[in-house]
């Protein structure tokens, strides 16, 4: 069955259509949260998928409410689902649904000792060991930290975030851009290294909008990872 799977993150609402293990990624508009035409864009996209069941993973209650108003049959992927993993976390209701979806995708993929790293507005790191969700880390996202510095410091302005050579900046903006990349990237890679060693993990999976920037042979990147987990939790 074709299913529309949506991910309402802190920055954007994204989605794709899934059918029989295949994904159609060019059928949904990527909508920034807070955009003036957010509701209209949402309505246009839903109208283009009339008849399809809708699965939602959301960390933004306002977006969840908008979709509930429009689709009475909306299925949420969250802690109330039939989770394909055990957990040592005492209160799963306090864990972001996106993180639960990421762990669910790892469990459904057959991972036994895995770290799922989701790099977006926040950077999250979640550990699955022997079929058990042990917990994770939450840190400011790489780009978010750089943006906050530009907004909060009196004489600084936000700078674009992205890969930079290992070199010092020759002016303030250049130094900020280089510092954001090198410390952001270095911090994430250090967290991955330490968690892999501490928990004897054998697999690392990257996802999220910035995950592609850190992908490598031992760190595969899948932009659909959270959606795969949402589909699994929804039983679709």
Higher pLDDT, 122 or 171: 122
Residue 145 above 80 pLDDT?
no
d(CA 206, CA 68): 30
Is 98 an active-site residue?
A: yes
pLDDT of residue 10: 87
Write out the two tokens for 173.
């903006």
d(CA 106, CA 87): 14
**What residues contact residue 62 under an 8 Å CB cut-off, 6+ apart?**
none
Neighbours of 163 (CB within 10 A): 9
Are 88 and 128 a contacting pair, CB within 8 Å? no
pLDDT per residue as tens digits for the range 70-101: 998 899 999 999 999 999 999 999 999 999 99
Distances (CA, A) of 42 to 11, 28, 46, 65, 186: 15, 10, 6, 12, 37
Distances (CA, A) of 81 to 66, 233, 234: 21, 6, 7
- Set 26, 69, 91, 98: catalytic member: 98
Residue 236: pLDDT band (50, 70, 90) is low
CB-neighbour burial class of residue 53 (10 A; exposed 0-12, middle 13-18, buried 19+): middle
**Which domains does the chain possess?**
3-76 (3.30.420.40), 112-141+179-223 (3.30.420.40)
Q: Is the pTM of this model over 0.85?
A: yes
pLDDT of residue 141: 92
Are 120 and 141 a contacting pair, CB within 8 Å? yes
Residue 152 above 70 pLDDT?
no
């Amino acid at each position: 069955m074709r299913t529309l799977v949506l991910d309402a993150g802190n920055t954007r609402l994204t989605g794709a259509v899934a059918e029989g293990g295949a994904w159609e990624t060019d059928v949904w508009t990527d909508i920034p949260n807070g955009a003036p035409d957010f509701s209209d864009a949402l309505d246009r996209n839903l109208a283009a998928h009339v008849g399809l069941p809708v699965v939602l993973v959301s960390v933004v209650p306002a977006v969840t409410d908008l979709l509930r108003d429009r689709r009475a049959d909306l299925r949420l992927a969250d802690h109330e689902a039939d989770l394909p993993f055990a957990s040592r976390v005492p209160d799963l209701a306090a864990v972001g649904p996106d993180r639960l979806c990421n762990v669910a995708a790892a469990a459904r993929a057959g991972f036994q000792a895995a770290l799922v790293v989701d790099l977006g507005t926040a950077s999250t790191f979640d550990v699955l060991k022997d079929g058990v969700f042990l917990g994770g880390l939450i840190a400011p996202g790489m780009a978010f930290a750089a943006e906050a510095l530009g907004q909060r410091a009196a004489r600084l302005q936000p700078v674009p975030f992205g890969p930079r050579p290992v070199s010092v900046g020759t002016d303030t903006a250049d130094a900020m851009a280089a510092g954001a990349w090198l410390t952001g990237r270095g911090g994430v890679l250090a967290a991955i290294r330490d968690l892999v060693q501490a928990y004897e993990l054998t697999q690392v999976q990257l996802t999220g909008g910035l995950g592609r920037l850190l992908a490598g042979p031992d760190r595969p990147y899948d932009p659909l990872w959270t959606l795969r987990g949402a589909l699994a939790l929804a039983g679709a």
